Amino acid sequence: MSDRERVLGRVRRALADVPEDDTPYERAVPRDYAREHGTRTVAETVELLAENLADYRAVVHRCAEAELPALLARLLVARGARKVLAPDGLPSAWLADADLVAVPDLAASTPYELDAVDSVVTGCAVAVAETGTLVLDGGPGQGRRRITLVPDHHICVVRVPEQVVASVPQALERLSPTRPLTWISGPSATSDIELDRVEGVHGPRTLEVVLAGVIPSVGGTGQADGTPASVGE
C-alpha cells in the first residue's frame, strides 16, 4: 500500500464517528466578520495607509503623478544609487529624470548580479490601508519576486486612490492565486533578540513608498470628494 492510500485510509477511519454532512461550504462557515473596520472616506483610507506604512518604518512620500519622475530622481540621488533595477512594464517616464544605470529584470540574472544592484523601483498590485501592506503580483512594473528582495533599497509606487483598499478581505478579492504574490508590510524585521525589533535582516533594509496621484483632501465625511465608501469597492 502506498503512503497516499495509507494516509487517506487512516483519515477516513478516524472520521468514522462524524455524521454525514452535505452542507455546502458557503453555508458551513459564518462570515459575519467585518469586510472593513470602520467607515472611512477615500481620503481617510489613503491617510490610514500612509500612517500604518510609517508605523512599520517604511518611508512614505506623496506626489501627483506628474511629479513622480522628479521625486524618484531625488530619492535615488539621496540614496546615492547608480545601478537601479527597473522591471518590465514600469512606465519609462518614471525614471526619465534620474541619472542612473538601468538594470533590466532578466530570468538569466544570477542572485549575485542582483546583489550588486543599489535600488529597485516597482509598482504594486494593491495596497491595504488597515495593515499598511503592499502586495506585488508580478504584473507590469513589478517584476520577479527576487528583485524586491535582494537589493537593499526598494521604492514602491502606489497609485492612489485606485490601488488602495481598506482591508485584507478586500485585497484578496482583487488578487489572483495563480500569480506569485508577495505581501510586504514595512522593511524586513526581526524580534528574535530579546523581542527588540530590528529592521533589515535579509530583505531590503530601506523601504520607501510613494503614494502617487491626486491625493484627496483629508477630513471627515461630507467633503467635495468624500463619498463614505471604501476605496476601490
Partner 1 sequence: MNETFVGMPAFPEAAREALDDTTLRGNLRHATHTIRAKRAATVAEVSDWAELREAGSRIKEHTLRHLDRYLEQLEESVTAAGGTVHWAADAAEANRIVTELVRETGESEVVKVKSMATQEIGLNEALEAAGIRAYETDLAELIVQLGEDRPSHILVPAIHRNRAEIRDIFRTAMAGWGRPAPEGLSDRPAELAEAARLHLREKFLRAKVGVSGANFMVAETGTMVVVESEGNGRMCLTLPETLISVVGIEKVVPTWRDLEVFLQTLPRSSTAERMNPYTSMWTGTTDGDGPRAFHLVLLDNGRTDTLADEVGRQALRCIRCSACLNVCPVYERAGGHAYGSVYPGPIGAILSPQLRGTASEIDVSLPYASSLCGACYEVCPVAIDIPEVLVRLRERVVEGGPAVREGNRVVLRPARGHAAERAAMRAARWTFTHPGALRTGQRLASRARRLRPRTLPGPGAAWTATRDLPEVPAEPFRDWWERTRGGKEETT
Per CB under 8 A, contacts with partner 1 among 48-107 are: 52, 56, 107
Taking CB under 8 A as the criterion, which residues in 6-45 touch partner 1? 6-15, 17-18, 21, 25, 28-34, 37-38
Q: Using the rule CB under 8 A, which residue among 51, 101, 104, 180 binds partner 1? A: 180
Cβ(163)–Cβ(151) under 8 Å? no
The residue among 28 and 66 lying less far from partner 1, judged by its C-beta, is 28
CB count, 10 Å around CB of 200? 15
The CB-of-198 to partner 1 minimum distance in angstroms stands at 4
- C-alpha 32/C-alpha 91 separation (Å) is 41
Residue type, 99: D
Distances (CA, A) of 4 to 8, 12, 14, 18, 228: 6, 12, 15, 22, 52
Taking CB under 8 A as the criterion, which residues in 109-148 touch partner 1? 110-112, 115, 128, 130-133, 138, 144-146
Nearest to 184 by CA among 46, 48, 50, 53: 53
Question: Which residues sit opposite 212 in a β-bridge?
Answer: 63, 159
Asked whether position 169 contacts partner 1 by CB under 8 A, the answer is: yes
The residue among 98 and 188 lying less far from partner 1, judged by its C-beta, is 188
Q: Which three cell numbers stand for residue 94?
A: 518614471
Asked whether position 190 contacts partner 1 by CB under 8 A, the answer is: yes
Asked whether position 184 contacts partner 1 by CB under 8 A, the answer is: yes
Taking CB under 8 A as the criterion, which residues in 193-212 touch partner 1? 193-196, 198, 200-204
